Amino acid sequence: MLSIKHNLPGLLLSALLLTACGGGGNGSTTDTSGGTIDTGANNGGLAWVEGEFIPYAQLANQCVADQSGSELSEKLWLRSWSNDTYLWYDEIVDTDPAPYTVPEYFELLKTNELSASGNIKDKFHYAMSSAEWEQLNQAGASLGYGFNLYLQQASAGMDRKVTVTFSEPNSPAALASIGRGAVLVSVDGVSIKDANDSDSINILNAGIFPSVSGKQTDFGVLDLGATEIRNVTLTATSVVSTPVPIASAIPTFSGNVGYIQFNAHIATAERQLVDAINGLKNSDVQDLVLDLRYNGGGLLALASQLGYMIAGEQATQNRTFERLTFNDKYPNRDPVTGEALTPIPFIDQSIGFDPNTLAQGEALPSLNLQRVFVLTTNNTCSASEALMNGLRGIDIDVIQIGGTSCGKPYGFYPTPNCDTTYFSVQFKGVNDKGFGDYSDGFVPSSNPTLASDLPGCVLNDDFSQPLGNINERLLSAALYYRDNNRCPALSTSSMGRVAAQAPFIDKGFTLEDTRVQSKLRNNRVWPTGL
């Protein structure tokens, strides 16, 4: 077994450097681009010159807010950082930043090219406040009411509908008994279905996506199976995610089957995953159903650990979980840490992301399984896909039930500058066999033909049953496939590359169709979150 025991301190050191640095400002990152900078008061010597790039380390943390810099210094930092570390840096149009705000300029610093299949090449370019990112990454904490939502038909006049997919335990939504399958009908008196003007849309967004803790919002809720709408007032608060809310053993005539609902690769998941695997191991499960339908990613190291805990020592010994490649300026080393590029192993020990719950260096349990059934939707993304790909790379059978995954074989180091953390694609990952071409997602198929096709069943999410219930459509189909090696009759596998519904979480309503995935849940970072 390729143990990380001796490499673990280095991993943690890299994580600490990442947390401490401001995109290269403290010397913990590597920036080899040429140029000089006038570092006098107010950065008066700065100017944009097409094709010339000041080293971004020299521009870091020169901010408007504390008067240590200007908007121009912040924009030029973004420009140099992108030119040095962005995976497709040579596809960025070098544009004068003067007419743009900092957020507007960041949006320009990405490729406009399309993938080979004609889809948008870079769908994962975003930023958020550094405080918000730290809360989300470490504890899964975000401001809201605790319900996860799916939007059906975002535009007015198209039977717009918002359905609750699940509510976080002990959240305002859960305490108000708003559960899976409930439909939000109105927000502060505005009909979700019929809103068609800017004022109404603004009320919907302000209510469903609050920006201030303590905000009270009145919701009209139609519970699953109910015929009458009930009115509920919820107060926005910081809701902490429970990344592994369900782990259970399902008895069958051919042995126990494990079920794990895994919602986010965040730091607190390490302890919960270890507990879940230990419990299933004690129940002598013969197979595993891993529910990743709402898991948009997070810490790549956790995906590697879970891969080991599923497959075990023999299957993962001396095998690569994922190998990272950066842009052509850095063929042999990581442009952020400066370290030589080495394959990421299947990690067999605890990293201790939260040392209060799990210490570093403890041996991880394993189920030693030869296959896993994975439940997916369009919101299954990034580190979740890396887990699927990593297991396939060592010949573990991955049976996919649900919809096409989001398609993100890419990752980034979240990089802070001036109280904002930026996420810009910096690397691509491949498995032990060198495969990573799934930018259009993994596709369940009864007749796999492409390398990104997986054996399985195409099915839409089922909001009519609780998650973990054997009658819920995706879990039921996984159990049926296990017994019969084929999809149940209700599967739409014969329809081809049909995507299951994707949860709508964070972006907000517009007067156009906005069926997009949450920016907060499409992360793939190493070693602190992908």
Q: How far apart are the first and last CA of the chain?
A: 25
Question: Which pLDDT band holds residue 11 (cuts at 50, 70, 90)?
Answer: very low
More confident residue, 5 or 380: 380
Mean of pLDDT values over 67-88: 96
The candidate with the shortest Cα–Cα distance to 346, out of 288, 387, 287, 295, is 387
Give the E-state strand segments of 214-275 in sequence order: 216-222, 230-235, 237-240, 246-250, 256-261
Q: List, as one string, the DSSP characters of 434-471.
A: S----TT--EEESS--STTEEEEEE----TTS-TT-TT
Question: How sure is the predictor about 8, in pLDDT bands with cuts at 50, 70 and 90?
Answer: very low
pLDDT of residue 19: 23
Distance, CA of 425 to CA of 423 (rounded, Å):
7
Phi, psi of 277 (to 5 degrees): -65, -40
Question: pLDDT tens for residues 103-152?
Answer: 999 999 999 998 877 888 998 999 999 988 887 766 667 899 999 999 87
Is 90 exceeded by the pLDDT of residue 392?
Answer: yes
Q: Which residue has the tokens 């420009």?
A: 79
358 and 267 in contact (C-beta within 8 Å)? no
> What pLDDT does 37 receive?
38
CB contact set of 215 (below 8 Å; sequence gap of 6+): 206, 235, 236
Residue range 281-325, pLDDT digits in tens: 999 999 999 999 999 998 899 999 999 999 999 999 999 999 999
Question: What is the tens place of the pLDDT at every residue in 17-62?
Answer: 222 222 333 333 344 444 333 333 454 689 999 999 999 999 999 9
